[in-house]
Amino acid sequence: MDSRRYFTGPRAVLLLATLCCMLWGSAYPAIKNGYAMFGIAADDIPGKLVFAGWRFLFAGWVLLVLASLMKKPVFRLTGRDLGALGLLGITQTTLQYVFFYVGLAYTTGVKGSILNATGTFFSVLLAHFIYHNDRLSYRKVLGCTVGFAGVMVVNLAGGAAGFDFEFTLLGEGFIVIAAFVLSAATIYGKRLSQRMDSMVMTGHQLAIGGAVLLAMGYGSGGTLQGFTLASTALLAYMVVLSSAAFAIWATLLKYNRVGMVTVYNFLIPVFGAVLSAIFLGEDILQWRNALALAMVSAGIWWVTTERSAEATDAAAERATGTKDRTA
């Protein structure tokens, strides 16, 4: 049976892309709830690395098993491929999530989802300097300007003397650094995907990155305790959301124009903020949160939508990339 018909057409893209964005957005409250369920304190960095490591190691294995069932070349790798996958895993998974998991412990899920969305804007800026045919346009400059302005807004706080700027390196700073690392690593991964199946590539890099996170966490004295039915189910859900969202997203990109799919990226911070408000009891209706969310989402929309039917898929793909979202 040809499965293509389930992944093509405006309605299928809308439903499946929205599902992926909802899964990626749900990672923010899931991670913070995981800290509470497993008893991981804000300053317990080794524990966070172990928590993240198991999630991504299992997610990578799930993708590799799925790729094997689909008859993809899971283990036909050269020495060059292994070296490239190791570098990608260490940057896109290990390094990124060191910053992301630590940063999310020191800020709210709503702010984290908004700040992490800066990765799209970093990708646009990096693509301008790396690809000669993917220069900044008026639409991209406008989107990046509005998006970064939204990041400034979410960090404003009212004080007796006016407005203060709330921004800490370990919290908001680490989330923005994680977004930049992901953007840079995604460009490298995009090049690697030209000679390797994207699902195989992502499965290996997640498993490698997760294994390194585990080694770092256990090597520095970290543990993961407090396993209950609820906490185990949460960890299993986080594994599934990473592997399932990537598999669906990659299939959508395979059968549809890239611009038709990536335009839905603006939904990730929306779902992240809304689900954080629901499951963490955070206030999404504060003026700064609501305004920043609207500005960042609008910015992502502007930089990922094609200006005309003649806009090339290659340019959009390089600007936005394929990513295991953040989350």
What's the token pair of residue 73? Answer: 């070349």
All residue ranges of the chain with pLDDT < 50 are 159-162, 307-324
For position 177, what pLDDT does the model report?
95
pLDDT of residue 327: 64
Q: Where are the domains of the chain?
A: 3-320
pLDDT of 165 = 63
- pLDDT for 7 equals 84
Mean pLDDT of the chain: 85
Q: Which residues of 173-210 are buried (b: 16+ CB within 10 A; e: fewer)?
A: bbbbbbbbbbbbbbbebbebbeebbbbbbbbbbbbbbb
Predicted pLDDT of residue 265: 82
pLDDT digits (tens, 9 = 90+) for 8-63: 888 888 899 999 999 999 999 999 999 999 999 988 999 999 999 999 999 999 99
Distance CA 20, CA 241 (A): 8
Q: Which tokens hold the place of 165?
A: 């700027």
Can you give the pLDDT at residue 183?
87
Write down the pLDDT at residue 309.
Answer: 38
Give every CB contact of residue 273 below 8 A, 6+ residues apart in sequence: 25, 109, 110, 113, 114, 284, 289, 293
> What is the pLDDT at residue 307?
47
- Per-residue model confidence (pLDDT) at position 319: 43
Give the pLDDT confidence score for residue 158 in this predicted structure: 52
pTM to 2 decimal places:
0.84
pLDDT computed for residue 53 by the predictor: 96
Interatomic CA distance for residues 14 and 9, integer angstroms = 9
